[in-house]
Amino acid sequence: MLRRFLTAVFILSCASIAANAQDWANKMFTGERTHSFGTVARGAKEEHRFELKNLYVEDIHISGVRASCGCAIPSIEQETLRTHEKGAILVKFNTNSFVGQRSATITVTIDRPYFAEVQLNINGYIRGDVVFNPGTVNFGSIEQGAGAKQSVSVTYAGRSDWRIQDVRSANTNLQVELMETQRVNGRVTYQLGVGLKPDAPNGYFKDQMVLVTNDGSQQNIPIQVEGSVLSPVQVSPAALTLGVVDPGQTVTRNIVVKSKKPFRITSIKSDDNSFELAPVSDEEKLLHLVPVTFTANKAGRVTNAIKIETSLGNGSVETVMATATVREADIN
C-alpha cells in the first residue's frame, strides 16, 4: 500500500515538473495561442502569425514545427531569437485542398537552451460552394501616387438566387467595383475589382474586405487585401545619430534625400529648437543634401522627429528620427 502511495506521489511530482518546464516556453507567446479563421471561401489566402518574444538571457532555438492536420501549413519565421528579439510561427490555412470545418494543433519544438514543446491551435470553416481566384487581392509593390487596380473572380455554386449585396472594408484607401458576369443553373460568378487610391500612405498594409451576401446562414465572406506603397523619395540615413556631445557643443550632419525624377523640398520641420534646419530651396533636382545642426543644451537623451515634405507623391512626407546624448556639465 505504501509503495503504491509513493509511486503515485512520484508520478504527480514528475507531471508537475514537466508542466513547469513547459511554462517558460508558453510565456514567450505574447498573444492567444488559439486562432479561429472563421468562415472563409475555398481558395482564399488565410494565414495567422503567432508572435513570440525571447524573455530570457539565453538564446532560444526553435528546432521544428509540425501540424496535426494538412489543413494547416506552419513555418518558422526566425529559428534563433536572442534576448528580447521577436519572431513568429506563421500558419497558413490550406483552403485549396480542404473544405468544411477544420482544426489543427501546431506543435512548436524548442531545443535550446532547454527542451520544450508549445502547442498552438487553429480552426475554421472552409466553404466548398464559394471559390476565390486568385485567393487574395495582392497589389504587390506600388509607388505612391500611382494608384493600382486588381481583380478577383468570385464563383458560387448552389442557389440560383444567391447574390453579393455589399462589399465592406475599414480601409478608406480602397475603392470597389462589383460586376455580375454569370448566372446559370445555380452557378453565379462575380468580378470583384479593387482599386488603391493614389493618395494611399506609404508602407505595407494588410486588411480584410467582407463580401455581404443574401445567404442567411453564412452571410459574410472575408477576403484578404495586401500591398506595399513605396515612397517616391528615399531618405538616408533613416535614423540620424548625433552621438555623445557636451553642453553647448554643436554637431552638424547631412540628410540625403533623393528620387528617380527631379523634385523640390517644400518644407522641413522640427519641434525641437535645439535643431537648426536648412532653408527650403525652390530648385528641382534628383538629390538634395539637408544639413541638420544640433546645439546641445540640457543633459540627457534627446530624440527629435525631423519631417521633410517634397513635391512628389501628393506631398510625400518622410520622417527622420534624430538622437543624441548630452553629457552632464563639468562643474569643476
Question: CATH top-level class for 233-326?
Answer: mainly beta
Backbone phi, psi, residue 247, to 5°: -55, 130
275 strand-pairing partners: 294
Amino acid at 73: I
Lookup result for grid cell 462589383: 178
Query: Can you read off the three cell numbers belonging to residue 155?
Result: 464563383
- Domain ranges in the chain? 19-127, 136-230, 233-326
Architecture of domain 136-230: Sandwich (2.60)
CATH architecture of 19-127: Sandwich (2.60)
The reply to whether 136-230 shares the fold of 19-127 is yes
Distance, in Å, from the CA atom of 120 to the CA atom of 117, rounded to the nearest integer, reads 10
Say how far apart CA 189 and CA 187 lie, in whole Å. 7
What does the pLDDT look like over 2-43, one tens digit per residue? Answer: 455 444 443 444 444 344 557 999 999 988 999 999 989 988
Instruction: Quote the distance between the C-alpha of residue 77 and its chain's center.
Output: 13
Strands 265-270 and 300-310: antiparallel
pLDDT tens, residue order, the chain (332 aa): 545 544 444 344 444 434 455 799 999 998 899 999 998 998 899 999 999 999 999 999 999 999 999 999 999 999 999 999 999 999 999 999 999 999 999 999 999 999 999 999 999 999 889 999 999 999 998 887 788 999 999 999 988 899 999 999 999 999 999 999 999 988 999 999 999 998 888 888 999 999 999 988 889 999 999 999 888 888 899 888 888 989 989 999 999 999 888 989 999 999 888 899 888 888 899 999 999 999 988 888 999 999 999 888 666 788 899 999 888 877 65
- 57-100, pLDDT tens digit by residue? 999 999 999 999 999 999 999 999 999 999 999 999 999 999 99
Instruction: Determine the pLDDT at residue 203.
Output: 84
SS3 (DSSP) at 21 = helix
Instruction: Count CB atoms within 10 A of the CB of residue 72.
Output: 26
The contacts of residue 102 (CB under 8 Å, 6+ apart) are 69, 71, 72, 93, 123, 124, 125, 126
| Residue 142 near residue 228 (C-beta atoms within 8 A) | yes
Query: Closest Cα partner for 81 from 52, 124, 104, 117?
Result: 52
